[in-house]
Amino acid sequence: MAKKSMVEREVKRAKLVKKFANKRASLKAIIEDQNLPMEERFKATLKLAELPRNSSAVRLHNRCQLTGRPHAYYRKLKLSRIMLRDLASFGQIPGMVKSSW
């Protein structure tokens, strides 16, 4: 089980990303628009830099939904490899069977 503080930090980041998504997108559109004057684009760059760092989607890290483990994460199932194996062994994932020979 991951530390509660790390899991809560990721939850907080996800909320910030969602809250500032529209503002970040509009500022980035202004910055990338070559038709606008350089001063206006520079002001947009400064406003973007003033936003919280954790509001950037790049700072999010995938974690297992059950344990919070950050490594060996399967995106499709949103689980770590350990939980995937446990749930498959108990037959709780449809269509997945633990191999044996």
Verify that 5 and 49 share a domain, yes or no: yes
- Judge whether 14 lies within some domain: yes
Show Cβ contacts of residue 16 under 8 Å, excluding neighbours closer than 6 positions: 52, 54, 55
- Judge whether 98 lies within some domain: no
Q: Are 64 and 79 in contact (CB under 8 A)?
A: yes
Domain count for the chain, please give it.
Answer: 2
* Residue 69 lies in domain: 62-93
Instruction: Evaluate if residue 101 carries a pLDDT over 90.
Output: no
Beta strand extents in 32-94 (DSSP E only):
73-74, 79-80
Query: What pTM, to 2 d.p., does this model score?
Result: 0.76
DSSP one-letter code for 67? T
Instruction: Evaluate if residue 51 carries a pLDDT over 90.
Output: yes
